[in-house]
Amino acid sequence: MNVFRLAGDMSHLLAIIILLLKIWKTRSCAGISGRSQLLFALTYTARYLDLVTNWVSLYNTVMKVFFIATSYATIYLMYLKFKATYDSNHDTFRVEFLLLPVTILALVLNHEFSFMEILWTFSIYLEAVAILPQLFMVSKTGEAESITSHYLFALGSYRLLYIFNWIWRYYTEEYYDLIAIIAGVVQTVLYCDFFYLYFTKVLKGKKLQLPA
């Protein structure tokens, strides 16, 4: 554990809390992609099955349980409790275009051809692209509420901070995991356009609005 890793985890935690609070306080999930949230739930389920086979630390276990539980709580709020507010006609990204290549890639490019390892690899690849339905939705509607922008910023920062953590670990522990690093870089790059808009618009008090 180093400061970048901890900051990354906290940023991830913050993103989820912002999202849940937004939905709960406004009683609405408008502007949020249910498809991205389903992909995140699938990501954490596939990755954290090792909760029952591999003990790392109390911190690790608590965080994993939190990520799995909140991902399903978000889905419950979006698809059941506040279903009427879900903007499904703007949430039209075809997730099979992500799931199919990610599944094939996980079967081909992995550290070990075993059930748990392929699930882990699948989750790493899937997480990298899981935000695309959400970014697609923002580009389709041409705008995002500020609170949604803060959520996306925290979520994007998390993998960027992990990249610093991997650089740190490479120099201090000679440890690196190419699959995680490459997927993490792809994940972060997908946010670049959004980061730019966040700094130039949202932080100056303007709404995130794409040029027509």
Partner 1 sequence: RQNELDHDEL
By the criterion CB under 8 A, which residues form the site for partner 1? 5, 9, 12, 50, 54, 56, 60, 63-64, 67, 111-112, 117, 120, 162, 165, 173-180
How near is the Cβ of 177 to partner 1 at its closest, in Å? 4
Q: Which is nearer to partner 1, 125 or 162 (CB)?
A: 162
Q: Which is nearer to partner 1, 53 or 89 (CB)?
A: 53
Q: Which is nearer to partner 1, 82 or 166 (CB)?
A: 166
CA distance 37 to 17: 14
How near is the Cβ of 66 to partner 1 at its closest, in Å? 10
How near is the Cβ of 149 to partner 1 at its closest, in Å? 24
Alpha helices in the chain (DSSP H): 3-26, 34-47, 58-76, 96-108, 115-129, 132-141, 146-173, 178-200
| Amino acid at residue number 89 | N
CA distance 108 to 130: 20
3-state secondary structure 52-97: CCCCCCHHHHHHHHHHHHHHHHHHHHHHHHCHHHCCHHHCCCCCHH
Cα separation of the two ends of the chain: 44
Q: Which is nearer to partner 1, 62 or 203 (CB)?
A: 62
How near is the Cβ of 92 to partner 1 at its closest, in Å? 30
Q: Which is nearer to partner 1, 165 or 187 (CB)?
A: 165
How near is the Cβ of 118 to partner 1 at its closest, in Å? 12
